[in-house]
Chains A and B, each alone.
Chain A
């Protein structure tokens, strides 16, 4: 997408300015990660700070003295730099320090300081003591993701193909509920599902309690504080992340293709299976990632809608980090969560990957 043609003549300094710009940006980011991640310490820190300043000043001098061509080549890196440095210091460096703390030990619960000591036993603790929370997190998030597809797809389909002039209004209606706070929505669900709430008395009135208990949705006549309630909350809260990408990919489909299939004597269901559904796969794919990842790390739904036996890994990380002040084990759990999600995403991309994700 080269939109600006290169001038015929380039000065030597100018023509390599983009390489300089890229290198400067990467070096500056690396310096910030090194400082923020406590990779370097003592006098080395000041050296790194000096390198960082030298690189920034160097690029400014180059842009100032290098002429129009150099400035044009440096411009994108200059525009990216402030944001990249922010993300370097507050997104990349924290990941590094998380890994570092996950391998550290702490003297006692009340001690703020920790010592880096390749303490792999934190990971052992994470797996042995919190294995159940890990598997529940992935199980609940997986079920919730499937449910969001089942609920979201028909709605996205109807809006995209039958919405007509109400398309925007319907889309607005889908988004509106999510302008209320996430916590308040979840607390509202805990009230709706509570023992004195409408849903339970309705189910009781219809005599459906044994059926729902057989399906393991209810437990001892209760809806709240069951795994089903947690999964239901996750499904509700992440539904738009599934629905909107599916809608976007359905909306792109040329209705002429469906008509062509029908002209060729395809039944409606065959046209859907062979034409519409495959073309909507990028949306389902993106929606799955956008739903599964936050759902697996969530702790709000499990806290308000679940019971002590339905806690997910997010609850454990939160509890260990903020209540027990056990940063090393909490960090180990967060690192495991991050790595396993990255692995799942890679696997999933390999299996169902589509190119137009980004």
Chain B
């Protein structure tokens, strides 16, 4: 009796989890499916008929294509800056113990816990009424680096927490200069963590809407273009580009997982990170 009841409970939990997983995919299936739709009129919202046209001409919407490439540019620049600044901070926090260590740790979490609308509007007030920089590409990059830095620093710190810093001593005992030690020993070992963090930071930048919206001026990024266009036209190309981003991310994820398994480094690093 008891046994059958727990069995039912077990099944029920599995069903709940399955429903949750399906729920996560409902809009995604919808987005991908509608990239094959041939809409009547300007809004790609009602299913009409199947077509390959949109996938054959993914860049036929020039405004959208410009916005998409602009987003990629911004993400590339801001991720480079944020990865550099954030990794230095992560090394400082993971490698050294120093006065104010906990304070800096706490401070780094703050930008991630503030609502985006506060970050976006407050940064915009900084740019209001000054003559150094106009709203546009530069202010968007500044904004993106601002929220990426904390993110990179905390992610890299978590990944290199278990790093064996005595390796550096070993290298220096063998006569390597500090510079050589860093580039030959430390950097290659913490590089995977830095790369993982920068990939996620890149994704954050491409997808950011709220903070960018306050600081973009007349510049159009991918999300901002979609926001503006959603009132007048929703072209199926939006779905195509979104699907491309989706499939590319899945591919990167799968490759990362596969290569991590092959080297066994992923599991080892996770073990280290937990220790």
* Partner-B contacts on A (CB < 8 A): 1-4, 18-19, 21-22, 36-37, 73, 75-77, 79-80, 82-84, 86-87, 90-91, 93-95, 97-98, 100-101, 112-114, 151-152, 154-155, 157-159, 162, 168, 170, 172-177, 179-185, 187-189, 191-192, 194, 196, 236, 239, 252, 267-269, 289, 293-294, 296-300, 304, 314, 317-318, 321-322, 327, 330-331, 334, 337-338, 341, 345, 358
Chain B residues with CB below 8 A from A176, complex form: 28, 246, 249-250, 253
Does B183 reach chain A (CB closer than 8 Å)?
A: no
In the assembled complex, the Cα of A176 lies from the Cα of B252 at a distance in Å of: 11
Other A-B pairs, 20, CB within 8 Å; known A154-B17, A181-B223: A3-B97, A36-B126, A76-B95, A83-B88, A86-B85, A90-B123, A176-B253, A181-B209, A181-B226, A181-B242, A187-B226, A191-B34, A192-B26, A236-B27, A267-B2, A298-B210, A299-B117, A318-B117, A337-B117, A358-B106
Question: Would you mind naming 29 contact pairs between A and B with Cβ atoms under 8 Å apart?
Answer: A2-B97, A73-B98, A79-B92, A83-B86, A83-B88, A83-B149, A86-B149, A87-B107, A90-B145, A90-B146, A93-B126, A94-B123, A151-B20, A151-B23, A155-B16, A155-B17, A159-B17, A172-B253, A173-B24, A177-B24, A181-B222, A181-B226, A184-B31, A188-B27, A191-B45, A299-B210, A300-B209, A304-B230, A331-B121
Interface size class of B (residues with CB under 8 A): 35 or more
CB neighbours of A188 from chain B (8 A): 27-28, 30-31, 34
Q: Chain A residues with Cβ under 8 A from B89's Cβ?
A: 79-80, 83-84
Residue in chain A with minimal CB distance to B25: A177
**Shortest Cβ distance from residue A149 to the other chain B in the assembled complex, whole angstroms:** 12
**B residues neighboring A (CB under 8 Å):** 2, 6, 9, 13-14, 16-17, 20-21, 23-28, 30-31, 34, 45-46, 84-86, 88-89, 91-93, 95-100, 104-107, 109-111, 113-119, 121-126, 128-129, 142-143, 145-146, 149-150, 153, 165-166, 203, 206-207, 209-210, 213-214, 222-223, 226-227, 230, 234, 238-239, 242-243, 245-246, 249-250, 253-254, 257, 274
Residue pairs across A and B with CB atoms within 8 Å: the count is 247
Q: How far is the CA of A157 from the CA of B113 in the complex (A)?
A: 25
The distance in angstroms between the C-alpha atoms of A110 and B106, with both chains bound, is 40
Which residues does chain A contribute within 8 Å of B257, judged by CB atoms?
168, 172
Do B245 and A337 have beta carbons less than 8 Å apart?
Answer: no
Distance, CA A208 to CA B22, complexed state (A):
22
Cβ contacts under 8 Å, B119 to chain A: 91, 94
